[in-house]
Amino acid sequence: MNLRLHNSMTRRVEDFVPLDPERITMYVCGPTVYNYIHVGNARPAVVFGLLARLLRRHHKHVVYARNITDVDDKINAAAREAGAPIATITTRFAQAYHEDLARLGVDPPDIVPHATAHIAEIIAMCERLIASGHAYAAENHVLFDVESYADYGKLSGRSTEDMIAGARIDVAPYKKGPGDFVLWKPSTDDLPGWDSPWGRGRPGWHIECSAMAEAHLGDTIDIHAGGNDLMFPHHENEIAQSTCAHGGKVFARYWLHNGMLTFGGRKMSKSLGNVMILHELLEKYPPEVLRFLLLRAHYRQPLDWSESTLAQSRATLDGWYGVLRDRADIELAEDEWIVTPDFEAALCDDLNTPAAFAILSGLADEARKAASAETRRRTLAALLGCARLIGLLQEDPENWFKQTAAGNEVDADWVQRLLEERVAARAARDFSRADRIREELAARGVVIEDGAGGTRWKVVEPGQTTP
């Protein structure tokens, strides 16, 4: 297998050659755990989880770490709001994150490091950066001196001027340079904090990943991945910290970035409020529909969340499951399932999932039309084997159709509640919320019509917008 990956650092698709074939290392930036994740946050976990699965097919020793950020101002705010201890919030949502991803068919990584379990390593890295002249302490903070690292900005292709212009307008007085970023900051008594040479404080976000990657994977790692929203400043800062802490050694050899899941044309993001919560979606849709949707576009492309992409994903899966149901008389043990070379080649070509899906559709067609028993067996074995690799068609076909049918039984109270919310949203002139409610209903096959006497609704096929 010749695995080729797009490296954001060189902006090229390159052959993947591990530094040490006996130990292939991969680090993916995980979530900050203060709430349930939105379905966009699941995209990197699904995509890079698939990459880990692909790597493991050919290499015995893959070490995959995906971290949990469990110290952050957003967590503090969430805990305050809930009136709960911070650890209660982080434990609860880290757990929910793992459970929701497991339902999406994401294999657990080998290592799930938590930032708060690496404070000693973080402090040690800060000390090394200070000692080597790349960081300085000021007013109980430790800051990274961006001027001290000539390659700063190389990954994102930004000039120093751009990055400074992007830095906050009112620059803290203790910063030497406006682009300098925080490695350590002071904590007040009511906030989480740890003793350090700079007083009681807590780490900045970027240094956490550098310290956890070093602790578990070493100075130089093979693959570092995350969403492309993290390229600047997060990944740029990770590179600066780790490279300088390791005497100039390359930090990550291949940088992979997934494109954003968008909703209504904009990045799905908590700060914009246009989010669909994965935990809630999993109650409404078969998990494979969501997994299919997240993999249907190439991972580097943007991908739009909409009721029609959901409906198409479901329809395609219905088609494939239909073949399995119609061919239920053919008995195939799991060890007879095969992954075809073209399917594997598509995935090895920088995770070309659209091409892989086209192959699955072709196999489903062949299995449906196959005249001879021999061809039916062969195509079905290939369909099942390839689909298993990508994490689909794992359900019993009969169950699948029961699930889809059950998903279409609409709860009238739920519809009524949403319609009332929509009336309130429209009265408050929050038309985007009103539109989202309409979409949410349509995704479950509920079509609404506004008339003189109020709003009427009826159930059609999920995702079909016209009554």
- Stretch binding ligand ATP (CB under 6 A), from 40-48, 77-85, 393-401, 420-428: 40-48
Which residue among 271, 374, 427, 454 contacts ligand ATP (CB under 6 A)? 271
462: enclosing H helix or E strand = none
**At closest approach, how far in Å is the CB of 381 from ligand ATP?**
34
Q: Which is nearer to Zn ion, 234 or 433 (CB)?
A: 234
Query: Which one of residues 49, 153, 227, 287 is an interface residue with ligand ATP (CB under 6 A)?
Result: 227
Token output for 26: 């991969």
Binding residue for ligand ATP, selected from 5, 8, 27, 31, defined by CB under 6 A: 31
Residue 41 touching ligand ATP (CB under 6 A): yes
**Partner whose binding site includes residue 227, from Zn ion, ligand ATP, none (CB under 5 to 8 Å by kind):** ligand ATP
- Tell me the number of residues near ligand ATP by CB under 6 A: 20
- Confirm or reject binding of residue 267 to ligand ATP (CB under 6 A): yes
Residue 23 interacting partner from Zn ion, ligand ATP, none (CB closer than 5 to 8 Å by kind): none
- Tell me how far apart the alpha carbons of residues 352 and 344 are, in angstroms, rounded to a whole number: 10
Q: Is 29 in the site for Zn ion (CB under 5 A)?
A: yes
Bridge partners, 63 (sequence order): 25
Q: Site map for Zn ion, 205-244, x if CB under 5 A? A: ----x-----------------------------------
CB of 123 closer than 8 Å to CB of 309: no
Nearest Cα to 381, choosing from 397, 357, 363? Answer: 363
Of the pair 44, 49, the CB lying nearest ligand ATP is at: 44
Region of residue 430 (phi > 0: left; psi between -120 and 50: alpha; otherwise: beta)? beta
| DSSP of 50-115 | HHHHHHHHH-S-EEEEE-BB---HHHHHHHHHHT--HHHHHHHHHHHHHHHHHHTTPPPPSB--BG
- By the 8 A CB rule, do 18 and 267 touch? no
d(CA 439, CA 426): 15
Task: Single out the segment in contact with Zn ion by CB under 5 A; choices: 109-117, 175-183, 201-209, 414-422.
Answer: 201-209
Q: Which residue has the tokens 């196959």?
A: 370
d(CA 332, CA 319): 20
What character string, x for contact with ligand ATP (CB under 6 A) and - otherwise, covers 181-220?
Answer: ----------------------------------------
**386 labeled part of a ligand binding site:** no
For the four alpha carbons of 422, 426, 432 and 435, in that order, the dihedral sign comes to positive
Q: Looking only at Cα atoms, what is the longest distance across the chain?
A: 78
Considering the rule CB under 5 A, would residue 33 count as an interface residue with Zn ion?
A: no
| Non-local CB neighbours of 57 within 8 Å, separated by 6+ positions | 1, 344, 389
395 labelled binding-site residue: no
Contact status: 223 vs ligand ATP (CB under 6 A): no
The edge-to-edge listing of strands for the beta sheet with 201-203 is 135-138, 141-144, 181-186, 201-203
CB of 376 to Zn ion, least distance (A): 48
For residue 99, the minimal CB distance to ligand ATP (Å) is 16
Partner that binds at residue 209, options ligand ATP, Zn ion, none, CB closer than 5 to 8 Å by kind: Zn ion
Find the binding residues for ligand ATP in span 360-419 (CB under 6 A): none
The answer to whether residue 296 forms part of the interface with ligand ATP (CB under 6 A) is: no
Closer Cβ to Zn ion, 34 or 292, answer by number = 34
Rounded to an integer, what is the distance from CA 347 to the centroid of its chain?
18
- Residue 29 annotated as lining a ligand binding site: yes
- 260 lines the binding site for ligand ATP (CB under 6 A): yes
Residue 97 makes CB contacts below 8 A (sequence gap 6+) with 30, 31, 33, 36, 37, 68
Instruction: Cite the annotated binding site for ATP by residue number.
Output: 270
Instruction: Cite the annotated binding site by residue number.
Output: 29, 209, 234, 238, 270
Residues near ligand ATP (CB under 6 A) are 29, 31-32, 38, 40-41, 43-44, 226-227, 229-230, 258, 260-261, 267-271
